[in-house]
Structure 1
Amino acid sequence: MSQSDVSSDRERVLECTDCLDPADAFALIGNETRLSILEALWAAEDRPVAFSELRREIGMRDSAQFNYHLQKLAGQFVVQTDAGYDFKHAGEKVVRSVIAGSFNEHPTIDPFPVAGSCVACDGPLEARYRDEQLAIACPDCGHGHGEYGFPPGGLNDRTREEVADAFDQRVRHLHCLAADGVCPECSGRVESHIAEDGACCLGATVRVDHECVQCGYTLCSAPGLRLLDHSRVVSFHRERGVSLDERPYWTLPWCVSDEYTAVVEHDPIRLRVRLPLAGDELRATLNEDLAVLETTIESLE
């Protein structure tokens, strides 16, 4: 197959044959009855759900009117099968957003203390929540240890400690996906590049900027976050009595401080992240794609 044939095939695969303008998509679900249909599908014990059962669940007597609203959702948000109706991914996404509170909840909570100490001044750390963003920061010197989106639903039925743990897991997940080139929001392609022109929310001057080419989602990170699940890094810590799964990312200096990350080459770019622990130091060299090229262990004694 020629290169032109390959390009032609790629274009055919990516071509959208039944796309809906975003404004039209929002108009479709901006209706109480249609949202009720999606919520009824979500609440159903088994799916697909029959037409009559859906209509009964939302309490609409007029079958024709119910069918009108249901057909507005069909194709983009729900799919019809021989056994009834079920979600398409977009329909599930809408309901999950409602459950998460992104559309209808705007809670605030007072700052609360979290584990660890500030990498800049060794002061205490606290979590602050505002406008669906949770931030870890030092109240004494103001140094940031990360600020990322956290849906309001994540606060429900959790203690402050559990909220902090959920935030830690969420941040790890977001950065893992972005570094692997997958958008956490739309699963589109994410492009990443190394920047040295200012501090991000993690206090890192040398940072990684991630941006989705499809939906525009952006995320910045310290290069060290990429190493949290790397096998050599995990074993290095485990051999010295530390389980990285049990340590919030903000308590690991190489995840939130410039001191442990340096650009050692520019063409092509190479990063070195130092991870000191128990008298030894693991040194990881990463390329511009955040792939680990090599690791070495040096004694600090």
Structure 2
Amino acid sequence: MSRADTILECEDCVAPADAFALVSDETRLSILEALWRLDDPVRFSELRSEVGVRDSAQFNYHLNKLTDQFVRKVEASADGDGAASGTEPAGYELRTAGERIVQAILAGSFTEHPRREIAIDDPCTQCGSELAARYDDEVLAIDCPDCGHGHGEYPFPPGGLHDRSDAEILEAFDQRVRHLHCLAKDGVCPECSGRMNTTIERAGECCLGTSLRADHVCEQCNHQLCSAVGLGLLDHSAVVSFYGDHDVALSETPYWRLEWCVDDESVTVLEENPWTIRIDISENEETLRVTVDGDLSVVDTERV
């Protein structure tokens, strides 16, 4: 069954084309943005004033189009809270769908297409030269200008560039990459929360610069991510404890500084059918050996 068929199975759902048509009007987008700014719930009169529409009937028409799908009407309480006269409900507030629309606008995904280059004062894990980052088409990529080794390229909304220095952008990108891939490895799609499946593949020509990669694909929305096989271990308790024992705060160490997150020289394939893979994580002459299976579930850890 295709994803389109799955969408149409829901009898109570609004068709995607109709849902997007509801927010194609400038006044309706202004209503959603106003509800985002103001404290919930917002009275009709206050909301109309905030949006700046003088005609009450016209404003009511647009608000009604959004209500139930993107906006929720909050009725007055039985004790007469705010609307005892019955002239209007206690107010209006955003539903989750309305929040998603405003978040997408603020993220810049629909309206912004910036490009940016950032120098990174960190060495390439392969040759030791300084890394560089480039931003284009909502993707931030890190690689080595000298040897060409890739250190990953991952989605990053344009809003992440707003009011941030280069260093702050890199810090935010690092945290986002950790979040995305640890969620994906745990089977949760970071876009729609659907079921995410993980498989191991021979990389071939790949932006990661590795010969082996983990592919994460959502069954529901088909969102896809790929990574070096070690990247999903950044939140594993044994790995975090290992670095902590060596006085290294793993959460504050950019993933591109960690060889096991950006290349596969520390990766050993023990079996291929089914996959059994060992990642050797070394620090101060001690090594943590982490063994994972074909969906990156940890099956064993050992310090040597």
For 2:105, the equivalent position in structure 1 comes to: 98
Partner in structure 2 of residue 34 of structure 1: 28
One-letter amino acid of the structure 1 residue matched with residue 187 of structure 2: G
Aligned to 1:206: 212
TM-superposed CA distance for 1:200, in Å, is 3.6
2:171 aligned with 1:171, yes or no? no
Provide, for residues 167-195 of structure 1, a one-character-per-residue CA deviation record: whole Å limited to 9, x for no partner. 00000010011111111111111111111
Q: How does 1:57-68 map to 2 (within 5 A)?
A: 57-68=50-61
Q: Is the 8 A contact 2:182 2:233 kept in 1?
A: no
Question: CA distance change for structure 1 residues 165 and 104 in 2, over 3 Å: closer, same or farther?
Answer: same
Q: 1-side partners of 2:244 and 2:40: how far apart?
A: 44
CA drift at 1:112: 2.0
Secondary structure class of the residue paired with 1:223:
coil
Query: For 1:213-252, what aligned pairs fall within 5 Å after superposition?
Result: 213-252=219-258
One-letter amino acid of the structure 2 residue matched with residue 248 of structure 1: P
Which of 268, 272, 277 is residue 271 of structure 1 equivalent to? 277
Contact 2:290 2:298 in 1 (8 A): yes
Alignment match, 1:156: 162
2:266 aligned residue (256, 260, 265): 260
Question: Which residue is 1:293 aligned to?
Answer: 299
Match of 2:87 in 1: none
How much does 1:213 deviate?
1.3
**More displaced stretch, 17-26 vs 88-97:** 17-26
Range moving further from structure 2, 129-138 or 259-268? 259-268
- Equivalents in 1 of 2:172, 2:140: separation in Å? 11
Mapped partners of 2:121, 2:233: distance in 1:
21
Residue 59 of structure 1: how far off its partner (Å)? 1.2
Q: Give me the whole-angstrom Cα distance separating, in 2, the residues matched to 1:89 and 1:52.
A: 23
SS at match of 2:198: strand
- 1:242 Cα deviation after fit: 1.5
1:22 lines up with 2:38 in the alignment: no
Kept in 1: contact 2:67–2:73 (CA 8 A)? yes
State how far apart, in whole Å, the 1-side matches of 2:268 and 2:121 are. Answer: 27
Q: CA deviation at 1:297?
A: 1.5
Please state how far the C-alpha of 1:199 moved relative to its aligned partner.
4.7
Following the alignment from structure 1 to structure 2, what is the Cα–Cα distance between the partners of residues 142 and 89?
Answer: 43
Measure the CA separation in 2 of the matches of 1:19 and 1:257: 44
How far did residue 116 of structure 1 move?
A: 2.1
Matched, 1:108 2:101: no
Instruction: Tell me which amino acid in the other structure corresponds to 1:161.
Output: A
- Amino acid in structure 1 at the alignment position of 2:154: Y
Which deviates more, 245-254 or 116-125? 116-125
Q: How far apart, CA to CA, are the structure 2 residues paired with 1:199 and 1:206?
A: 10
**Paired positions, count:** 283
Measure the CA separation in 2 of the matches of 1:229 and 1:199.
Answer: 28
User: Is the aligned partner of 1:195 residue 2:188?
Assistant: no
Q: Which residue, out of 131, 135, 139, partners 1:133?
A: 139
Residues of 2 paired with 1:88 and 1:218: CA distance? 27
Query: Following TM superposition, where does structure 1 have runs of at least 4 consecutive aligned residues deviating by more than 3 angstroms?
Result: none
TM-score between both structures, scaled by the size of structure 2: 0.89
1:73 corresponds to which letter in structure 2? L
Q: Under a length normalisation based on structure 1, what TM-score does the superposition of the two structures give?
A: 0.90
| Gapped regions of structure 2 (runs ≥ 5) | 1-8, 76-89
**Amino acid of the residue matched to residue 27 of structure 1?**
A
Q: Shift of the alpha carbon at 1:134? A: 0.7
| Partner secondary structure for residue 210 of structure 1 | strand
The one-letter code of the counterpart of 2:246 is R
User: Is 2:131–2:145's contact at 8 Å kept on the other side of the alignment?
Assistant: yes
For 1:228 and 1:75, the matched residues in 2 are separated by 41
Deviations 1:78-129 (A, max 9, x none): 11111221111111011011111111122222x2222421122221101111
TM-superposed deviation, 1:289: 2.5
Given residue 209 of structure 1, which amino acid in structure 2 is its aligned partner? Answer: D
| Contact 1:199–1:206 (Cα < 8 Å) also in 2 | no
Identity of aligned residues (%): 59
Q: Distance in 1 between matches of 2:206 and 2:40?
A: 44
Where does structure 1 lack aligned partners over 5 or more consecutive residues? 1-14
Could you tell me how far apart the structure 2 residues matched to 1:270 and 1:117 are? 30
Contact 1:194–1:207 (Cα < 8 Å) also in 2: yes
Match of 2:86 in 1: none
